[in-house]
Chains A and B, each alone.
Chain A
Amino acid sequence: MRGVVSALSRLGLWGRGAVIAMPFLWLLLFFLVPFLIVFGISFSESIVAQPPYAPLVGWLTDEEAGTTKLQILLNLTNYLRLTGDDLYILAYLNSVKIALVTTLLCLAIGYPMAYAIARADPARRGPLMMLVILPFWTSFLIRIYAWIGILKSNGVISNLLEWTGITSGPVEILYSDWAVYIGMTYCYLPFMVLPLYSTLEKMDPTLLEAAADLGCRPLKAFLTVTLPLSLPGIIAGSLLVFIPAVGEFVTPELLGGPDTLMIGRVLWNEFFANRDWPVASGVAIALLLVLVVPIMIFQYVQGRETEER
């Protein structure tokens, strides 16, 4: 009997192990290992071959001595190019700038929205949040595309400005940094509103009443009570917008001008246009280095959030 019980509990443990192992091994193989390969290839040399990079590890045979040596070639030229060429440094700085502006715009539009929804009648909160999330379910590409017709010369905004007489001719906002800001804010807004709403909704409204009873003005109550309490939501939302925005490719490619330099675009061009896989890998590693601190903060915030529940 004892044997049966222990066999069963071992089976239970085995099942438990399998439940962990399946997603664990999948992510290890298809998420973590690829980064190591990218890291390795960033030290390789670009050659005309299939695949277009030189192997890092090779065997060096010395015919006279009759020995074979293991040879590992580490090539730092890719990184020297990244730090030596202004193009790359400008692209990194510009990506961070565009991501920061996008984050601030999302915060400026998203915070009042999340606040208004959190203070709305409880029965209306669900549908109001649904309306925020709904556009997220339609294609990202289609939403960017919608803005092309609005922002282009002779587009909706241009016609509107001309019709009202504010401008005398067609205006082109498309293919500029502003078009990128608008498009990215539009696409990332739900990611900002969601975490903001979930922290604001949990907030106890009696705190504000108490502040008002004690003679605190609404603005001061907002700044000293609401804002600090919603800080976790602000941090989570900002990171959810900022981190992917730094590496964004589609929006600057479709809405930005040829001089809207972003690192995602540089990586794409190195890979597809120049077929220089090692430099593309170097760009990716450098981008990861820029993002490693924000990603770690995000992990920490996300981990604490799930522990709390």
Chain B
Amino acid sequence: MKRIGFLSWALWFGYAFLYVPIVLLVTYSFNESRLVTVWGGFSTKWYGELLNNEALLSATGLSLRVAAVSATFSVILGTCAGMAMSRFGRFRGRTLFGGMITAPLVMPEVITGLSLLLLFVAMEQVIGWPDGRGVTTITIAHTTFTLSYVAVVIQSRLAGMDGSLEEAAMDLGARPAKVFFVITLPIIAPALVAGWLLAFTLSLDDVVISSFVSGPGSTTLPMVIFSSVKFGISPQINALATLMILVVATGIFVASVVMARQDRQRKRDEQMAIQGG
């Protein structure tokens, strides 16, 4: 009995550790006072100021564009990588390939950022492209480091999937490409969505790599937040954070409701099939 007490206590402590800072952050975004730690009454004025902050709004737009494009590229490349790792058996360079997929997961961001910048500079000297640094280079950098996360998500979904469906389709004469688009892709679709969202979030969150590979005039949202946080806290950042948390929470809520509904539908279909047969 005592052990169970300790465990639930540990669990509560862990959740409190994870959530109390976020709750406090949201609470103080509605604070009237400029001093973030002194409660001066309820107010939404910081949200109003946020909407008038031009630099912040344009940085948000840029970040959303970069995140959407790089997440899409990284889902395409990550799906290929996941397929290659889990369905193609042995091929030449598989060890190197596997290493290049897992290493970016743990690589410190300062190293990735510096090395990509030096690559872009060297490429510009040799082939004249990319011409300067900006949205293109940030998008390439984000695709590269989010690709690994997508590949791992896809790979684990493919490993957990029943391979006999693909084999059956192949036995019935479907060509590999057709098997992939008709059988595999619909089954791993939830993993594709999860991978895209993960890549999108990681891209939207990155400050270190972006700082290295961005140029003048291409400042992303995290870069704006980072430089303003360095000068101390402001209720405007709290308001912005609250909005970001709200968007993420809504997104995850909708995704889980949709997935739960699909799951129920699938179970119902299976039951109908059993009863019908």
Q: What residues make up the interface of A, taking CB atoms closer than 8 Å to B? A: 8, 12, 15-16, 19-20, 22-24, 26-35, 37-38, 41, 51, 109-110, 112-113, 115-117, 119, 128, 130-132, 134-135, 137-150, 152, 154-156, 159, 186, 189, 193, 218, 239-240, 243-244, 246-250, 253-254, 264, 267-268, 271-272, 277, 280-281, 284, 287-288, 291, 294-295, 298-299, 302-303, 306, 309
Contact = CB atoms under 8 A, between A and B. Distances in A.
B114 A246 contact: no
Contacts, number: 245
Nearest to A183: B21
A137 B252 contact: yes
Contacts of A189: 14, 17-18
B237 interface: yes
Contacts of B36: 149
B11 interface: yes
Contacts of A268: 110, 208
A254 B11 contact: no
Nearest to A309: B159
A29 B121 CA distance: 14
Q: Which 3 A-B pairs have the closest CB atoms?
A: A247-B108, A112-B10, A34-B115
A131 B212 CA distance: 33
Interface stretch (B49-57, B98-106, B185-193, B269-277): B98-106
A109 B25 CA distance: 22
A179 B114 CA distance: 27
B131 to A, nearest CB: 14
B11 A37 contact: no
B62 interface: no
A38 B97 contact: no
Contacts of B77: 22-23, 26
B217 interface: no
A294 B241 CA distance: 34
B59 interface: no
A23 B37 contact: no
Contacts of B212: 271
Nearest to B119: A34
A16 B88 contact: yes
A264 B21 contact: no
Contacts of B151: 23
Interface in B10-58: 10-11, 13-15, 17-19, 21-22, 24-25, 28, 36-38
A145 B85 contact: no
B66 interface: no
Contacts of B121: 51
B102 A141 contact: no
Contacts of A295: 103, 106-107
Contact of A146 (B24, B159, B176, B249): B24
Contacts of B78: 23
A139 B98 CA distance: 28
18 contacts: A12-B176, A12-B177, A15-B176, A19-B84, A20-B88, A23-B80, A27-B81, A27-B101, A30-B144, A37-B122, A38-B115, A112-B6, A112-B14, A116-B11, A132-B18, A137-B252, A145-B237, A299-B99
B229 interface: yes
A274 B252 CA distance: 43
Contact of B17 (A109, A117, A142): A109
Contact of A109 (B13, B28, B140, B225): B13
Given A140-B205, A141-B225, A149-B233, A30 B116 contact: yes
B225 A142 contact: yes
Contact of B230 (A248, A254, A272, A280): A254
B195 interface: no
B72 interface: no
Given A19-B88, A26-B77, 5 more contacts: A149-B233, A244-B106, A267-B110, A271-B212, A309-B156
A23 B110 contact: no
Nearest to B11: A116
A22 B74 CA distance: 11
Contacts of B109: 244, 247, 249, 264
B248 A30 contact: no
A134 B91 contact: no
Of the candidates A29, A119, A299, the one having the most CB atoms from chain B within 10 angstroms of its own CB is A299
